[in-house]
Amino acid sequence: MSNATADVIIVGGGIVGASIAYQTARRSNLKLLVVEKGRGLGEGSTGGSSAITRQRYTRNEMVRLVKDSNRVFHNWSEYTQIANPRATYHPVGVLWVLGHSETKAAADANRLRSFGVRAKALSSAELTGLFPRSRLAANRSPSSKKTTTARLIHTSSSKNMLGTSNPSLLSKTLRKPRREKALRFDSGQK
């Protein structure tokens, strides 16, 4: 562990800690120290993330917040001002298999669309048409033994970011800011 002084100490070198450190180093003359309990950046919950940047949340505030976050991930190079970041964004879609009624799935899709999210509730026939080899059209809920018919598809477009981006690589990309001497990363392990 380092005995050096710092103006700001950031605990945790995952995507949030590394991003705070990187952006603070870009915008100030403060001396920063990021301390991480793992051997490297992005090894905690960041490293265990599924890396999907979805937009289906039950709370409207989260939908708005995640849409902004997705724009950052989609434009990572511009946001960080790093010409060739190690992590890249991969646009994908998500198929949610829901355990509630088609009416509720349709209401959820309408709510998401009101925020500009591309979402559609699918009937079993529509699902079979899109994914003919899927067994989901006749999916049964294991706990209730009844047929689950509600599906919600959530797709990506240039305006509506949904995808994956490796959060561990995103964290490691942020290790080298413009003012390298002002930002140190220290782990308790060698």
pLDDT in tens, 33-58: 888 888 777 777 777 777 777 788 88
What pLDDT, on a 0 to 100 scale, did the predictor assign at position 71?
81
DSSP string, 77-134: HHHHT-SS-S---EE--EEEE-SS-HHHHHHHHHHHHTTT--EEEE-HHHHHHH-TT-
Domains of the chain by residue range: 1-51+166-190, 52-165
CATH architecture of the domain formed by 1-51+166-190:
3-Layer(bba) Sandwich (3.50)
pTM assigned to the model: 0.63
Measured distance CA(55)–CA(67) in Å, rounded: 7
Q: What is the pLDDT of residues 58-97, one digit of tens each?
A: 899 998 888 888 788 788 888 888 888 777 777 777 787 7
How far is 130 from 152, CA to CA, in rounded Å?
12
Q: For residue range 15-37, what is the model confidence (pLDDT) as tens digits?
A: 888 888 888 888 888 988 888 88
